[in-house]
Amino acid sequence: MNVVLCDGGLANRLNALVFALILKRRFGQAWRISWPVNNWCGAPLDSLFQPPLPHDGLGLGHYRQHDDRLMLMQENQLAFPPERLQLHAGLRSFEAWQPLCDRPGGIVYFHNLIPDWVPAHEVHEALRSLQLNAEVERRAREFCEREHIDTAPGARAVGVHIRKTDFGASVNDDQLFEQVRISARRHFVCSDDAEVNQRFGALHHCAVFAKTAFPEKRVKDAAWLHWNADDEGRQFPFNIERGATSVVEGLIDLLILSRTETLSTSGSTFLAMARLLQAAGVFQQPLDPAPPADPAIALAVASAAATPPDAIPSPPNTAPTAASTMTPRPVTHAELFSLLNLIRPWQIASDVKVRLGSDGDGGYVMPSSSQRSNAVLSIGIGDEVSFDNQLAALGARVLQFDHTIPASPSSHPRITFHKLGWGERDQGPFLSLRTMMQMMDWDEAVHPILKFDTEGAEWDCLGGAATEDLARFEVLAGEFHDFQNLVNRDYFDKAYAVFSKLALTHHVVHMHANNAGGMVMLGGIPFPRLLELTYLRKDAALFSGHSAEPIPGPLDRPNVKQLPEIYLRAF
């Protein structure tokens, strides 16, 4: 029998459980849950969920001392001998996992993240298979109804995540409080700190779930982020003692937060799990907005659709059928709208935007912080280097890659050119993103930027890039090609997977259609063939919700001056 060890905080445990359920569904082995009650989570499994598998309360110490199964872990905690340990960072496909799951002696899987290569629809299916503890669900649902958390399509409350046990004092409470205070929107604040709850709960338009217990500090006089030993003797920089009641009420907070339009206040797994629950449709009030009747404003659904872009929805109706194994399923309107939701632009609250590069093709609209970047990876050069030249003049070191030209058109001393292209892997004249990144000085990197214009290769290259590599760039700016191919099932699924991956770590903050490609009609929905997007990492700024800025905006310029701009939004 295989075991999934669900340890750490609540969201970490759910991540491990979800991936184990996916493995079980795919390969069919018998699985058991180990859910230890400890300082990270003092609540037993059945006080939170109806257990989906047989379960016990065994912890990592038991598997170190009394069990000889192979451990699959992110890092070697408690000094497991090499013959009993496999680090799973290199296991990047289900094909790599199957022989491990089939081991006669079984495995123990322990991790706090869902692997980034797992298809979104499988994650959603696993989450939907979980059943909440009835009392937890009742309390959360009553609160949502009483406080009008999401009373109508497009009217979700704004969710603000300020859990001190997740990130200590690294989030500016005063700044968030002022942002909430002056807003006209309904807000929900999710916190495990009595002082934060009291302060925000005093605002008439801010709802807070009343707690009867709060987490405590193991070392009373130290900060929440303070090195100490946990119940297993492992050293961690989290000074946390979460009792049973505080964890149960934390789950209620998580469920309520999943019904909101969440602000990006941290990179915590708790906040990410709230977004996943929303994307999967777990504990969500039914919202069924109708597509606009006028195709001329169909693209504007990106600013009014019910599903927030911060969530990562899976394309509807993705479950395979017997017929779909022979004939590709057609791409539906609902799936196209779902893709649009992934690239809805967000408004930056803590920065402004500037234009870098030419007043035509080759210029990009960026956060102003990009002007202070000292590390730029520029892929796809051609004869247009105005963007690279301007950043180099501002002090950035620019690494250029393009296998289609003999040399860079730029002679700037801070620009280094490589006659190599971008590929999924290192092969021939192509390098993977990770290999290119190894040429950058990450120790000194400030506001790092990835810029790309690769004539369609971006889909495969971004699809093959690791999420943790993409997340190292504060800004991603590039051109996405050939949207006319979205009617093709394989192409749509590839594009959807790319946008889902980017949405895990970054928000779209600027959108512009390249007018050189014109528009195409996809089942009555107008799409540009070429789309320029600027992404900003979620932890690099504060965001005030979705942007109401027209597209094109005041900083945009037509790529081809002789052609009119393409307007993507009714306003």
pLDDT tens digits along 43-97: 999 999 999 999 999 999 999 999 999 999 988 999 999 999 999 888 999 999 9
44 within 8 A of 57, measured Cβ to Cβ: yes
203 — pLDDT class (breaks 50, 70, 90): very high
Pairwise CA distance, residues 113 & 74, whole Å = 10
Q: Taking the CB of residue 367, how many other CB atoms lie within 10 A of it?
A: 26
**Beta strand spans in 380-453 (E):** 397-401, 415-418, 421-422, 430-431, 449-452
Q: Taking the CB of residue 2, how many other CB atoms lie within 10 A of it?
A: 23
Looking at every residue in the chain, the average pLDDT score rounds to 88
Pairwise CA distance, residues 273 & 269, whole Å = 6
Against a cut of 0.85, is the pTM above it? Answer: no
Per residue in 119-174, pLDDT (tens digit) is 988 999 999 999 999 999 999 999 999 999 986 545 789 999 999 888 777 778 88
Backbone angles phi, psi at 290, to 5 degrees: -85, 145
Could you say which DSSP state residue 241 is in?
B
Which whole number is the average pLDDT over 17-32? 96
Asked if the domains 2-127 and 346-546 are classified in one and the same CATH topology, the answer is yes
> How many residues are listed for the chain in this entry?
571
Burial of 424 (0-12, 13-18, 19+ CB in 10 A): middle
91 within 8 A of 70, measured Cβ to Cβ: no
Cis check: omega of the bond before 552, within 30 degrees of 0: yes
Pairwise CA distance, residues 143 & 146, whole Å = 5
- pLDDT, greater one: 427 or 294: 427
Q: Which CATH number fits domain 2-127: 3.40.50, 3.30.43, 3.10.450, 1.10.760?
A: 3.40.50
- pLDDT, greater one: 315 or 309: 315
Pairwise CA distance, residues 498 & 483, whole Å = 13
Tokens of 475: 């800004």
Residue 316 in this model has a pLDDT that exceeds 90: no
Give the start-to-end residue ranges of the domains of the chain.
2-127, 133-280, 346-546
Per residue in 444-477, pLDDT (tens digit) is 999 999 999 998 999 999 999 998 899 999 999 9
Report pLDDT for 327.
Answer: 58
Highest average pLDDT, of 153-167, 276-290, 483-497, comes from: 483-497
CATH superfamily placement of domain 346-546: Vaccinia Virus protein VP39 (3.40.50.150)
Backbone angles phi, psi at 399, to 5 degrees: -100, 120
